[in-house]
Amino acid sequence: MGQTADRGRPANVGVIGAAGDTRLPDITPIRTLLSIEGETYVTIHAVIFDLDETLTLHEEAHTQGYLAAAKRAARKHAINMEQFTSSAPQTVSALGRNAPVSVYLSSLGIGGRDVLAGHPTDDHPDIRNVAAWAPGFRQRVFAALLQEQGVHNLDLATELVKAYRQAFWDTVRAYPEARPVVEKLRGRYRVAVLTNGLGVTQHEKLRTAGLDDLFDVVASSGDVGIGKPDRRLFDAVLDKVGMSPDEAIMVGDTLHRDVLGARNTGMRSVWINRDGRSARHGPASPDYEIRSLSELPGLIEL
């Protein structure tokens, strides 16, 4: 069942930027040999994961949200559903870029669609400003999509917001291999999540996906106040797990956030490249590349 209510963070997870004692239990260091093609060996004590499109489906959740809104609109008006869904990402992006909170959202490495689906309820002055702006923004997005097709109906736009958000949260789930892989690694390593997003929203994704009990530390850009690839966010999570950059490895799906940020911090990186994209013209080259998280334990020799 989809969740649209705001949720708090699990009490047993270390959260950067949150109050309270988030010290981690001692784990005896394990010498882990990380190698590829017999080349370099390094000691790894912490594995840090991105969240969206690394551990959980994110793009599909947005797609299903737009589709649900289009279907709801089509019940009342003869709209072109394909045009509606194809225009939605551009409309969200354009209205988000012109928002009074756009500079702040950009500093967190997020945009309008993160607010469209998310819960900006963290106790921070800037996020309270986002929370005040969010309801009107959501309505304007769907009002604009309706107006493109000659429909002027603010009440319907409000209905479409609800349809979108319900479908989004109904679709959020973990990749099938995510939980088994993290379960295999935890206890032998510090395991953490490092994600661009609003803190409450990202914790809700972990909870909805059934992953919220696995991690020693969860750090979001909303918690810290700066987004990937800024090394300050990486430094913050390294400090929380108690490791130096060369003792940790970053696992993520984006070259410009995860891989570049790790490189700037002095960490090694694993690029999860499910679609077989080329890294040739990217902003940074990963140290290692995998197609599935299931390959990770074989890369980090247990």
Domain ranges, ordered by start, for the chain: 14-57+173-299, 59-171
Mean pLDDT of 104-117: 95
Q: Render pLDDT for 157-205 as a digit per residue (tens, 0 to 9).
A: 999 999 999 999 999 999 999 999 999 999 899 999 999 999 999 999 9
Which pLDDT score is estimated for 262?
97
Q: Render pLDDT for 85-96 as a digit per residue (tens, 0 to 9).
A: 999 999 999 999
SS3 41: coil
What's this model's pTM, rounded to 2 decimal places?
Answer: 0.85
SS3 66: helix
> Nearest CA to 122 among 199, 45, 192, 229?
199
Q: At what angle do helices 125-147 and 154-171 cross, to 10 degrees?
A: 110
Phi-psi category of 218—alpha, beta or left, where left has phi over 0 and alpha has psi -120 to 50?
beta
Identify the CATH class of 14-57+173-299: alpha beta
* Residue 223 and residue 109 in contact, taking contact as beta carbons nearer than 8 Å: no
Average pLDDT, the chain: 87
Token pair listed for 173: 């789930």
Asked whether the bond before 283 is cis by omega within 30 degrees of 0, the reply is: no
